[in-house]
Each structure stands twice: as structure tokens, then as C-alpha cells.
Chain A
């Protein structure tokens, strides 16, 4: 399958500090790819680099088109939705307003009403809390809202940053189940960054392992799961 997103020699820095040292990776169209790694390995920065929210060098291609010198706002318009670390909820706005903002950059506004219904179908709890201030939602609900908001832009690629962070295992499983459904039914490709390697490797077809801003291992998720070093360091058994 062709790559939907492809990064070659991607570097990123905060001020003088270089965080990514020449990363190369690809996300297959229609697939789920995960980037694993410990704290500070550069996982979040990788996603931020794709969206140009940090200073970068190197090439990033989306659907064959160079996006590494575009602005974040324009990249979003091409069909990349980023669910950021910490969920990025608009806490003072209602749930519905959050979703309206998700659809803000959409050019084709046909089917907007159906998309609300679809998103509320995936996350019924959000429908119940439609008029509620988003800041009052629980962590899990806010994570659902973040995914729902991303879906409202009708993305072709979803960048998911640590959806499991700070959530109860049951909620995490629910969210991952929905991500899988979305991937299959909406044909949205996913690039998932996770610390919870076990659950990420179950979901993804392809995986990369990051250490201090470099790819140290990559391959089909099933292979990485069987790898002894990964099992000991990241799966913990």
C-alpha cells in the first residue's frame, strides 16, 4: 500500500535544543501506525513536527505533497486532524461548540448534520452532555470529545497523542475500540503515539520504537510484540 504520510530525516528543535535527530517513518493509507517510546523519547514532538507546531527541518509528505513548510492552519485543511497531548479541550465552551470548532476548517459543509449524528453515535455520552461546559467533563469524556472534535473535520489522517493518559483501563479500552471502528468504517488512517505499548501494539499494524529522538526499531506490530527487548522494557513481562 502507498504511504499517506511520509517523513524523511525529520528534525525538530525547541529553542537551541534538538529533540528529533533525523526521523524517517511512514503511515500507510488506511492503516494504524504507532510510535512507541519512553517519556522524553520525542513521541509528542514527532506529531507536533508533522503539524509544524515546532521548528523543523527535513521532509514531510502528505499524499505525495510536501507539507513541511506549510502553516499548521493549512496542514489541518489538507485533512490532518491532531488530537493533542492533554486533549486540547475548549473548557469554557459547550460540548457542541467544541464540535462546531472541529468542523471549522471544512470546505465542504454538506453532510455536516449527519456528521454530528455520526459522532454522537460513536460517543453517546457526548450527546447527553451536548450543552454542558466541556471543562466539567471527566477525563475520559474529554478524550472522547477530542477524538470527536478531530472527526468533525473529516480527516484522512488522525494524529492521536497518548489517548490513554490518566484514564482508567476500562475507559482506555473503550476509546481504543472506537478508534479501531473509526479506522475501519471511516477509512481514517491513524498515527498513534502511546506509552501503553501493549494496547498500542494490539491496535496497530505497524510500529516504530523511538529512543531519544531516533528510530531504533521498526516493523509489523506483531513482530515487535514478540521481540524480547521490547517485551522486557515496554511490555513489562
Chain B
């Protein structure tokens, strides 16, 4: 029984990582109707910037917030410079552009920082928290808390602020939005900025666990996609629940189904994507659009 609970707990920890990146994916999807394949790489790049600042001797939390701010501007610039020219192009074009961005960011990071893994500090204490026979890593608890705080902020922003409402409107119906006076093009830029900022948070939370290297987000991005699909691409809460479900399932299946073990873990994520798409394409929390004509 202890083993089971311990596996669930460590599943929660990895799930938190997937959730944080899935949150950024869902965020950009909600704000711009685009799935951003470069999300993971943008997060990775921001984390390298944070690493540079730490190397220069800045304290952790200063670095943290500075990185989030820089990532926001970076996301905004990427939208203005790279995405905007193809704003009205077919969805496939935009997807290919984000894939191109993925490759570019990955290579540039490798070129500047090399492909050698670097350690990245955690802001949380290293002493694990013990409850009976179950051990919680302090970083895991901290990272899940950060993800939940981000989720709460996002929820409040989209639900209760006029700007959040305008962003949702701009993504859904650009023509009507312009007629309401919403500057649609800037809303898309803002969406990219916010997603990049949350991606940066995810990156800085992930890096202490997986170590910093240009490919650190590769696998996680796939899990994040699984998480977003399971939760439903239209729901930030779904992304978090999806992330945790994927993390826990992956861990339990890896432990108890022997032919899967650690080697076939990633397959579990892909299988979950397929099963969800077959059984409930809108995901657990996704909203299906009801339309009367």
C-alpha cells in the first residue's frame, strides 16, 4: 500500500510539471486559436536566460520575475514578427511556422549554451517532507503550488477582467471583436506574451528536476499535449487535472504493468491522447460548442 501511495505522490509531482506546460498550451490556444508547438522550446529558452542571470549573481526571485517579464516581451515580439505575417493564413501554415520556431529556438539555445546539461537551482528547501511512510519532495510540493497559483490567476483574469474577456472574444470572432472596438491583432500578441510568461514559469520549475539542456522539454511537451488533450484544450482547469492524471497514470502503469516499465512510459501518454480523442474528443473539461443555425 505504501508503495502505491508513494507512486501516486511522485506521479503528482511529474504531473505538476506536465500541467504547467499544458496550461501555457491551453492559454495560447484559448487566446489565439493556435496550438503552439514551440511552447516547450520557448520555455526552455527562457530558463536559459534565467540561468544566465543567476550566473551573473542575481538573487533567485529577482531572476524569476525578470525572466517572466522578459519572456512576456519575447512572446509578444515573436507574435508581432513571426506570427503576424501569417495571421490570416490557413491553420496548417501557422502550425508549420510554430514547428519552425521550435527547431530554431532549440538550435540557437544549443549554439549559445552548448548541449551539456547544467544544474538549475530550486527555490524550495531540499529537505523532503515526510508524512508517515510517505515522502514528499519539497520542490514537488512547491512546484505544484506554483502551478495552482498560476491557474488561479489565469482563471480570475479570463473570467473577471474586461481584457481577459476581450482576448477570448478576439480569438473566437475577430470580425465581431473589431466591431466592438477590440484591437484584435494586439490581443493575439498579448496572448502569446502571457503564454510565454507562463511557459517560463514552467521551465524554471521543471529545470531543477530534469536539468537544463536544449532538449529538456522534448518529452515533456508530448506529455503536456497529452495533458491538454485529456483535460480538453479549451479549459485551463482541464489542463491541470489532465497533467496530474497523465503523471499519475504514467507512474502507476510503469510500476505495476511490468512489460511497460520505464522504457514504454511515453507510450502511455500517446495512448491516452488516442483514447481520449476516440472516446471524448473535447476532453474531460472541454466545452463543446453548441450552435443553432
Contact = CB atoms under 8 A, between A and B. Distances in A.
Given A88-B173, A104-B181, A135-B289, A93 B162 contact: no
Interface string B273-293: 000000000000001011110
Interface in B179-206: 179-183
Interface in A112-160: 133, 135-139, 149, 153
B125 to A, nearest CB: 43
A77 B290 CA distance: 31
B165 A97 contact: yes
Nearest to B159: A97
A81 B176 CA distance: 11
B164 to A, nearest CB: 10
Contact of B173 (A82, A90, A136): A90
B165 A105 contact: no
A105 B292 contact: no
A37 interface: no
Contact of A102 (B178, B180, B291): B180
Nearest to B168: A93
B179 A91 contact: no
A136 B165 CA distance: 19
Interface residues of A, number: 29
B292 A76 contact: no
A89 interface: yes
A218 interface: no
Contact of A93 (B169, B175, B183, B291): B169
B107 interface: no
B179 A84 contact: yes
Given A92-B287, A135-B289, A136-B290, A101 B175 contact: no
Contacts of A97: 165, 169
A143 to B, nearest CB: 13
A170 B287 CA distance: 34
Given A76-B181, A101-B165, A104-B181, A92 B289 contact: yes
A91 B172 contact: yes
A13 interface: no
B181 A73 contact: yes
B42 to A, nearest CB: 27
Given A84-B175, A88-B173, A105 B181 contact: yes
A101 B169 contact: yes
B165 to A, nearest CB: 6
A104 B289 contact: no
B191 to A, nearest CB: 16
A135 B290 contact: yes
B226 interface: no
A90 B166 CA distance: 11
Contacts of A102: 180
A79 B62 CA distance: 45
B166 A101 contact: yes
Contacts of B176: 84, 88-90, 101
Contact of A153 (B168, B180, B291): B180
A216 to B, nearest CB: 29
B162 A100 contact: yes
B255 interface: no
Nearest to A97: B165
Q: Most A CB atoms within 10 A — which of B172, B180, B183, B290?
A: B180
Interface in A67-96: 72-73, 76-77, 81-82, 84, 88-93
A90 B177 CA distance: 9
Which of A72, A76, A93, A135 gathers most chain B CB within 10 Å?
A72
Contacts of B290: 91, 133, 135-136
Contacts of B179: 51, 72, 76, 81-82, 84, 88
A73 B178 contact: yes
A72 B180 CA distance: 9
Contacts of A92: 168, 172, 287, 289
Contact of A76 (B162, B166, B180): B180
A138 B292 contact: yes
A101 B177 contact: yes
Interface of A: 51, 53, 72-73, 76-77, 81-82, 84, 88-93, 97, 100-102, 104-105, 133, 135-139, 149, 153
A-B pairs, top 6 by smallest CB distance, nearest first, are: A105-B181, A88-B176, A76-B181, A72-B178, A101-B180, A135-B291
Interface of B: 162, 165-166, 168-169, 172-173, 175-183, 287, 289-292
7 contacts: A84-B176, A84-B179, A91-B290, A93-B169, A105-B182, A135-B290, A136-B292
